[in-house]
Amino acid sequence: MRPNAYRVHGMMQSYFTRKMTGYLDYKGIPWLFRRFPGVSSLAKARESQVLAAWSGLGYYRRARNLRAAARLIARRHKGRFPADPQAARALPGVGRYTAGAVLSIAYGQKEPVLDGNVARVLSRIALVRQGTRTAAGRRELWALAQTLAEAAAAPGDLNQALMELGATLCTPLDPGCPRCPVRNVCAARAAGIEDSIPPRRTVRAPVTLRTAVALVSRSGRLLMRRRAGTGKAAPAADRDSAPSGRWRPSGTPSPTGGSGSRCTGRASSPSP
């Protein structure tokens, strides 16, 4: 029996894809599904309820996207994750990778997945030397993933196996080739260059920033303010929060130039 599309979608948004194989194993996710057992309950939930259920998993934009997608699925797709790849990719937070995972795992469609783990595995097996570092490499790897999915009797199982292989054995450093089930068809292993494919990114030297943080507390309670959004959509005041430099000791350089000597942050009222 195939996993439920709603749960696969939730798992894919959870970031911890290495837990996909046992897709109910990750401790936070069953709790999320118990709280919101289906698309309808998630679509009806308030954002604060979803964020509370997601608490501890990080990447809160994914929780917001999951709820927004559930609302669209409930409204436009009769509560069912759309089986059409274009419609799936039109959902908030659903790109080619997530759509491919849900459609192949939940519906058995011959759709590819390509995340960092899968890209590394395929780069090594097929000796795509640049991996996803170049547009040509990305195209080649997507095409390879597509070819494999189309040839597979169970594309969802294939995709999960590739994700799991990349997460557990075919790791960036010191891959476990002697135990690998595909070692006999791996070109990088045959050439003895598995460690250098894909090439490592150049690590930029760390930048030291000096900053100060003010905590406002009263009667054992801390003043906190919920961010109004994330990323480019966030108001400037939310993007410009510590440690990026609103509060700086006198005379210390700002990350964006100039020297800091005063607080430019806005105060907000303590919650009742």
Residues 24-63 binding ligand SF4 (CB under 6 A) are none
Are 5 and 42 a contacting pair, CB within 8 Å?
no
Q: Is residue 186 a contact residue for ligand SF4 (CB under 6 A)?
A: yes
Write down the residue that tokens 């401790």 correspond to: 27
Helices (H), 108-154: 116-126, 135-151
Q: Is residue 169 a contact residue for ligand SF4 (CB under 6 A)?
A: yes
- The residue among 174 and 232 lying less far from ligand SF4, judged by its C-beta, is 174
Q: Is residue 77 a contact residue for ligand SF4 (CB under 6 A)?
A: no
106 phi, psi to nearest 5 deg: -85, -35
Are 131 and 108 a contacting pair, CB within 8 Å?
no
Q: Is residue 118 a contact residue for ligand SF4 (CB under 6 A)?
A: no
Rounded Cα gap, residues 201 and 67, in angstroms: 34
**Which residue from 131, 156, 175, 198 is in contact with ligand SF4, where contact means CB under 6 A?**
175
Q: Is residue 167 a contact residue for ligand SF4 (CB under 6 A)?
A: no
Q: Is residue 170 a contact residue for ligand SF4 (CB under 6 A)?
A: yes
Q: Is residue 124 a contact residue for ligand SF4 (CB under 6 A)?
A: yes
**Which residue from 42, 100, 180, 246 is in contact with ligand SF4, where contact means CB under 6 A?**
180
| Region binding ligand SF4 by CB under 6 A among candidate stretches 36-44, 51-59, 67-75, 181-189 | 181-189
Q: Are strands 252-253 and 221-222 parallel, antiparallel or unpaired?
A: unpaired
Among left, alpha and beta (phi > 0; psi -120 to 50; other), residue 25 is alpha
CB of residue 70 to ligand SF4, shortest distance in Å: 36
**Which residue from 125, 144, 145, 148 is in contact with ligand SF4, where contact means CB under 6 A?**
125
Q: Is residue 163 a contact residue for ligand SF4 (CB under 6 A)?
A: no
Tokens of 95: 């790109």
**Which residue from 17, 188, 248, 260 is in contact with ligand SF4, where contact means CB under 6 A?**
188
Burial degree of 75 (CB within 10 A; 0-12, 13-18, 19+): exposed
Binding residues for ligand SF4, how many (CB under 6 A)? 15
* Residue 166 parent element (H or E): helix 155-168
Are 117 and 163 a contacting pair, CB within 8 Å?
yes
**Positions in the binding site for ligand SF4 (CB under 6 A):** 121, 124-125, 169-170, 175-177, 180, 182-183, 186, 188-189, 194
